[in-house]
Amino acid sequence: MKLKRHTELRPLAAMVVAALLGAAVAATALAGPREDDFIVAVDNDRVGQVKEMLAHGMDPDTVNAAGEPALVVAARAGNAATVNLLLGA
């Protein structure tokens, strides 16, 4: 089997990179209003709303726009009740 020259593989590598970047953009786009509402509830110590959203399948490891997990958002805001809720989720 003869190996292809490096230059012949570049178009394939470019397609792979484009596909991976497209998948990353699509995944980011999926983080929509529901996730935003969850982070706002966490940041504002709305324990009841956070508990309800968790009960309906919200991932307790949801991150904010800066990539910080909900637990970090709650801890930084000093929201002990929400921190305890997230730790138990």
Q: Please give the domain boundaries of the chain with CATH numbers for all domains.
A: 6-88 (1.25.40.20)
CB 51 within 8 A of CB 89: no
Residue with tokens 């930084």: 76
pLDDT-above-70 percentage for the chain: 65
Model pTM score: 0.64
pLDDT for 24 beyond 50: no
Q: What is the 3-state secondary structure (H, E, C) of 1-22?
A: CCCCCHHHHHHHHHHHHHHHHH
